Structures are given as C-alpha cells and as structure tokens.
C-alpha cells in the first residue's frame, strides 16, 4: 500500500494504543530516558525554600515539549503550571475555531525525534494506516486529544488551575507566585520558562475605533463567543486572516443571516511568504543572522500578510450569504437603534454584531504578572532601529539570548532576568518560528533544554568539581592485572664492542 504522505509502508504498526505505548516505553528504555545517573543536586533558597530546577508556565504544546526535552537531559525536578483545566490547555478547544490545522499532517510536531510519539503513530494505532492515507489535515479537536495522550506519555508534573500572578527574583533564583483554588503560594526555581502561547507577552489587539463600543455588540476572536446567538443576524467580521475566516465560518454555520468580512487591503493575501524560506536551515540558522537580516525577514512576511488556509476560506465561500468587502477601513463605530454603524472608506455599513479578528500582540502592561520582568528586559527597540525609518512594529518584542533567555536592559541591574526563558511566539523575532508552531516545536524545545542544562551545569561548577575530586569508584580492582617488576627483557642489548 502506498500511503498518501510517503512511500509504500507495510502495515506492521501497533494494533492499538496499548501496543504503541509498549513500543514507546521500549524506545525510551533504549535511549536511556531518564538518564541513569542523576547529575543535579537539590538546592534551596534562604527565602523561598526548596528550589525547582525549572518551573514552566504553560502546559500546552510548547510547555509539554520543553518539559520532555528537559527530562530527557536529566532535568527532572521540574513542574508545569497552567491556569486552564486539565485537557483544555492552549487554544485548541477554546478560541481556536478552525476545523483543521494548517500544518501538513506528516510534520512530527513535539515528538522530539521519537517515531512512536508522533501524531501519525497515535492515529494509526487507533484507526489504521489506510485511514491515515486519507488524512488531508489534522482535525483541531483530534490534535488536542493527541496532546492529552502526549502529556500522559511523557509523565511530567503538571498543576492545572494554577495561575502565575508574579515573577521576580535575585541572582540565585526566580520567585514565582502561583494562585489556585487552594490560595496563593510563592515558590522558587533556578530557571523559569514562559510557554504561554501567542498572547503570552500581551493579549488581543483591538483597534481604537472599536474599543469604546458597547460590549453587547462585539467580541474579539480570542474571547468566548455565543455563535448560536448570531442566528438570523447580520455579522461584520473585521480582518482577513485565519482567525477572521474561521470566525466568519462559525457565524455562517450557526445561521447568521449574512456575514461581511471587512479588510483594508484590495484583495485577500494569497501567498504565504513564510513558506518560501521555511526549512531546517531557517530553524537552526535564523538566530545567527544579523539583527537587520532577522528584522527584514519578519517584516517582509508581516507586510504581505499570511493568507488564511484554503480549506478555511472554502468553508466560508460555499455560503451564498458571505461577502468579502475589500478596501474597507473603518473610521468610526457607534451603536444606534440597536445596530453597529460603521463609517468606512466604502461608506456607512450597519451590522447587528461585530467579530473583531485583529490578532494578538505584545503588550506588556496587559500582563501584570510580568511587571517586574517588563521593567528590566532588553527589547528589540533598545537594540535595533530599521534603517529605512519604517514603523518598528516589533519594538516591544524581547531581544533574546542564544538559549531563548531574556537579557537585561541594564547589565547587572536584575541578574535574575537571564534565568527566565521566553518560549512564546514573540521569540520569533530572535530565533525564528521555533517556539509556537507545529513544524519546528521540537527544534525549539531541544535548543531551550540544552541551554538550560548547560547553564545549570556551569552554575554548579563548585559542586561538580567536588564531585570529581571525590569520585573513587574503581574501574579496576587490582586483581585484573599484575605489575611487572622484572624489566630485564625490556633492557636494550649491548652493542657489539660494548662492555
């Protein structure tokens, strides 16, 4: 049988999840996961007590991948904290409304090089290789089911219903305040990883023209939306990206009378420029580019915009009551007679409800838990200015070090800042697309984990030196050989004529 996503493969895979899990356990045993020799020792802080080696904020795809990569390197004193209920982490079953993932199904995602940990292995174990050959794109909800299984397989500590409300620190550790149903507590960690998704350093962006509108008449795409309440109504969708198309489709399928998608551009973006450069070379090499080269790539992609997936657009365009209104910029918005009236570049338009699908952006003041961090971190705007005088949209993005660590704005002012690592989408500016998207999430997790492990080892030099000096486990017992005290057979023979 020739599979759709690759060469002919005999159907010799596991027949169910139990068999797959047994194979994965064998993989981990052969790869020494976890390593047989613990190399980190417990540490404590005078103020915060026993320290975690790593605290990870966020237990979605990125947080889990980071945790597993660390665990494989022997960093096992770690814990993940997520404010969501177990099984609802990340966007997949909350505000993500696409039917399928954009990424091709054959991409390995967070498997970290383990074939039996891939989505494909998980899928085929339950539905068979023949069904896999029919998969065009992975269903969004099914991807969440896979991530729940992934979490169970990697077996790391996760605390759900736990919201991080403050991050601070000193030269020795980072203090994280966590609030849950049991109350608030402060814990210390040698390293902290922010794995909080696309909005992890900010939140939803709402253009000023819509901010003063009565909230009964609009919602941002990242919010909970009662689509059933839009039945029979005229809905305006602001934006033309993936979230705009997905939310328009939800409204249409819920029975909206008509849906109009408003965009400032003359046409929907058609070419995903990022696909032209995406490769393992970019994933590994982006961080080595100059500041100007990195910015030029990011800005080029942003200027031309990323088109919505074809499947998502077709999901809308098959409805006769769907319209795309191009060259339509909204200048004013107000509620009158129970409807939203928009003054636009195409004239006045009226809607019963607006779906504002204008994306997420870095906005430090919106994240009070990051207030102490925000004051101290080096930003791209501190480091780089576009030569052409362009508007620098990424000025508030953090300028990260080689291990995705934050850097101090003023060296020496807040040494704990370098102990916090940014594994959120805004790391793109410094490291490329390795911190939030399916294709290169394993690359990012391994880079992060190797950097943290290296830093922990270097910090522990005194302990490691003492361990080296104290190591006295013999390889040889003395019974394995004998010293030869008779060296006559090795003496040189006298030359002719010598006495």
The domain that contains 92 carries what CATH number?
A: 3.50.50.60
Q: What is the pLDDT of residue 273?
A: 85
Separation between Cα atoms, residue 101 and residue 139, nearest integer Å: 6
- Does residue 346 sit in the same domain as residue 394? no
* Whole-number percent of the chain with pLDDT over 70: 97
Confidence of residue 2 (pLDDT cuts 50, 70, 90): very low
Question: What is the pLDDT averaged over residues 407-432?
Answer: 96
Query: When comparing pLDDT for 496 and 292, which is higher?
Result: 292
Q: What is the pLDDT of residue 32?
A: 74
Is residue 257 one of the residues assigned to a domain? yes
Q: Within a domain: residue 14?
A: no
Asked if residue 228 and residue 93 are part of one domain, the reply reads no
Please give the radius of gyration of the chain, using alpha carbons only, rounded to the nearest integer.
Answer: 28
Q: Mention every residue, 6+ apart, whose C-beta is less than 8 A from residue 302.
A: 393
Q: Does residue 162 sit in the same domain as residue 261?
A: no
User: Which pLDDT score, from 0 to 100, does residue 436 have?
Assistant: 84
CA distance 209 to 332: 6
For residues 332 and 439, state if they share a domain: no
Beta strands (DSSP E) in 142-238 are 158-160, 163-169, 174-180, 183-194, 202-204, 218-220, 234-238
Same domain, 366 and 351: no
Mean pLDDT of 196-209: 95
207 Cα distance to chain centroid: 26
pLDDT, residue 391, reads: 77
Whether 320 and 237 share a structural domain: yes
Q: Is residue 290 included in any domain, yes or no?
A: no
What's the pLDDT at 478?
A: 87
pLDDT at 3 over 70: no
Asked whether residue 1 carries a pLDDT value surpassing 50, the answer given is no
Residues 171, 417: Cα–Cα separation, whole Å: 9
Same domain? For 217 and 344 the reply is: yes
Model pTM above 0.75: yes
pLDDT band (50, 70, 90) for residue 103: confident
Spell out the residues 6+ positions from residue 210 whose beta carbon is closer than 8 angstroms to its own.
Answer: 218, 238, 330, 333, 354, 356
pLDDT of the residue at 495: 78
* Range 457-460 contact pairs with CB under 8 angstroms and sequence separation of 24 or more: 457/39, 459/190, 460/40, 460/41
Residue 312, in any domain of the structure: yes
Please list, in sequence order, all residues whose beta carbon lies within 8 angstroms of the beta carbon of residue 140, skipping any fewer than 6 positions away.
Answer: 92, 93, 96, 98, 99, 100, 101
Judgement on whether residues 253 and 150 belong to the same structural domain of the protein: no
3-state secondary structure of 352: coil
Mean pLDDT of 273-290: 91
- Are 263 and 324 spatial neighbours (Cβ–Cβ below 8 Å)? yes
Number of folded domains in the chain?
Answer: 2
Residue 48 is classified by DSSP as T
Query: pLDDT at position 270, please?
Result: 93
Report the pLDDT averaged over residues 18-30.
95
Neighbours of 223 (CB within 10 A): 13
How does strand 49-57 pair with strand 44-45? antiparallel
Which of 358, 384, 401 terminates a domain? The answer is: 358
Domain membership flag for residue 82:
yes
CA distance 185 to 493: 81
- Read off the pLDDT of residues 127-186 as tens digits, 9 standing for 90 and up: 999 999 999 999 999 999 999 999 999 999 999 999 999 999 999 999 999 999 999 999
Residue 11 has pLDDT above 60, yes or no: no
Task: Indicate if 333 and 444 belong to the same structural domain.
Answer: no
Nearest Cα residue to 17 out of 134, 148, 110: 148
Rounded Cα distance between 445 and 60, Å, is: 13
Q: Is residue 17 part of a domain?
A: no
On whether the CB atoms of residues 335 and 351 are closer than 8 A, the answer is no
Q: Show the beta-strand stretches assigned E in 264-419.
A: 322-325, 330-336, 339-344, 347-351, 353-356, 360-362
Residue 481 in any domain: the answer is: no
Q: Could you list the residue range(s) of the whole structural domain that residue 92 is in?
A: 32-102+137-201+362-461
Q: Is the peptide bond before 34 cis (omega within 30 degrees of 0)?
A: yes
431 in the same domain as 352 = no
Q: What is the β-pairing status of strands 360-362 and 174-180?
A: unpaired
The verdict on 342 and 442 lying in the same domain is: no
Q: φ and ψ at 456, to 5 degrees?
A: -65, -40
Mean pLDDT of the chain: 93
With cut-offs at 50, 70 and 90, classify the pLDDT of residue 433. very high
Q: Do 353 and 377 share a domain, yes or no?
A: no
- 23 occurs within a structural domain: no
Percent of the chain at pLDDT exceeding 90: 85
Q: How far is CA 400 from CA 182, 387, 479, in A?
A: 35, 21, 55
């Amino acid at each position: 049988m020739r599979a759709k996503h690759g060469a002919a493969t005999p159907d010799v895979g596991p027949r169910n999840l139990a068999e797959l899990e047994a194979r994965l356990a064998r993989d981990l045993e052969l790869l020494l996961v976890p390593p047989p020799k613990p190399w980190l020792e417990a540490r404590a802080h005078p103020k915060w007590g026993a320290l975690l080696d790593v605290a990870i904020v966020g237990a979605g795809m990125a947080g889990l991948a980071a945790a597993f990569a660390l665990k494989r390197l022997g960093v096992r004193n770690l814990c993940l904290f997520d404010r969501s209920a177990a099984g609802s982490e990340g966007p997949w079953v909350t505000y993500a409304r696409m039917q399928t993932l954009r990424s091709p199904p054959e991409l390995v995602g967070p498997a970290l090089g383990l074939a039996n940990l891939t989505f494909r292995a998980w899928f085929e174990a339950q539905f068979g290789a023949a069904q896999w050959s029919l998969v065009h794109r992975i269903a969004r909800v099914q991807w969440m089911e896979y991530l729940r299984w992934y979490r169970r397989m990697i077996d790391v500590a996760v605390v759900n219903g736990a919201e991080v409300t403050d991050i601070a620190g000193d030269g020795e550790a980072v203090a994280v305040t966590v609030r849950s149903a049991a109350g608030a507590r402060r814990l210390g960690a040698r390293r902290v990883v922010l794995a909080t998704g696309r909005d992890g350093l900010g939140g939803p962006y709402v253009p000023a023209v819509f901010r003063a509108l009565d909230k009964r008449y609009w919602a941002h795409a990242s919010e909970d939306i009662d689509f059933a309440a839009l039945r029979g109504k005229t809905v305006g969708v602001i934006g033309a990206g993936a979230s705009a198309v997905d939310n328009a489709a939800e409204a249409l399928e819920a029975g909206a009378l008509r849906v109009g998608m408003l965009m400032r551009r003359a046409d929907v973006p058609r070419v995903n420029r990022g696909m032209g450069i995406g490769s393992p070379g970019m994933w590994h090499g982006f961080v080595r580019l100059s500041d100007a080269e990195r910015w030029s790539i990011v800005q080029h992609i942003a200027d031309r915009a990323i088109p919505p997936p074809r499947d998502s657009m077709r999901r809308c365009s098959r409805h006769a009551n769907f319209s795309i209104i191009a060259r339509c910029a909204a200048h004013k918005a107000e509620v009158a007679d129970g409807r939203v009236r928009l003054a636009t570049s195409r004239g006045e338009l009226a809607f019963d409800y607006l779906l504002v699908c204008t994306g997420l952006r870095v906005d430090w003041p919106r994240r009070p838990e990051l207030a102490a961090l925000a004051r101290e971190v080096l930003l791209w705007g501190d480091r780089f200015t576009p030569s052409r005088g362009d508007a620098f949209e990424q000025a508030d993005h953090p300028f990260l070090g080689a291990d995705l660590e934050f850097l101090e704005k003023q060296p020496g002012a807040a040494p704990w800042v370098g102990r916090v690592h940014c594994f959120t989408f805004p790391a793109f500016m410094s490291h490329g697309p390795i911190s939030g998207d399916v294709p290169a999430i394993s690359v990012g997790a391994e880079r992060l984990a190797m950097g943290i492990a290296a830093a922990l080892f270097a910090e522990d030099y005194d302990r490691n030196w003492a361990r080296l000096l104290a190591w006295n486990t013999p390889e040889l017992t003395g019974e394995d050989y004998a010293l030869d005290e008779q060296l006559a057979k090795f003496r040189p023979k006298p030359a002719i004529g010598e006495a």
